[in-house]
Amino acid sequence: MGCPTAKSMATGCQYLGAALLFYLGISRIFTLSFLANNVVLSLYYILFGAIILMGELGFGIISRKFHFLDRNFGKAFFALFIATFTFTISYWVQLGVSLFFLVAGGCFVVLGFTSPAEETTSDPAREEDKKKAEPEGKRYGTVETDANKAKTEAAGLPAPIV
């Protein structure tokens, strides 16, 4: 068995992070008092854990609505957001989750610099959307037609660079 790749370690980190957020959300509901802010924060932890988990499992709706989670820098900033969102010293499990996401965010920043253009997940539905949105032939520039050429010459303008 060889050494795990950075991508497989990042995937494992995402699964562990989602599990930690689920645990934190559920444990806060049952161990702390039922104050409104505790319940709302717990629901946010569970929601963020679900978003991370569904994004890693390749749910199309997540990759379309939360496109930043397909890139390492997007995952880094989301992990750093969760680290600051969960940071507290009063509850040790919450502090541990915060430190985990702080380290994970740093790792995703490093991965973002080592492979900035690589998407970490692929969604077949989004690939189809990209193909439909791209015109056939040239991707950028203007299409030179006889009508456009005649208008340009009649106006005395230089021909466009294509």
pLDDT digits (tens, 9 = 90+) for 23-73: 888 888 877 666 777 788 889 999 999 998 888 888 888 878 888 888 888
Cα separation, 159 vs 54, in Å, equals: 51
Task: Supply the pTM of this predicted model.
Answer: 0.63
Residue 1, pLDDT above cutoff 60: no
Mind giving me the DSSP string for 80-107? Answer: HHHHHHH--SSSHHHHHHHHHHHHHHHH
Find, among 107, 102, 69, the residue nearest to 84 by Cα. 102
Q: CA-CA distance, 42 to 29, in Å (whole number)?
A: 6
Q: Are 60 and 81 in contact (CB under 8 A)?
A: no
Across the chain, mean pLDDT equals 76
pLDDT at 85 over 70: yes
Mean predicted confidence (pLDDT) in 94-106 = 86
Long-range pairs for 58-64 at CB < 8 Å and ≥24 separation? 58/121, 58/122, 58/123, 60/123, 60/124, 60/125, 60/126, 63/121, 63/123, 63/125, 63/126, 64/123, 64/125, 64/126, 64/129
pLDDT tens figures, 111-149: 888 875 555 455 555 566 556 555 555 455 555 566 767
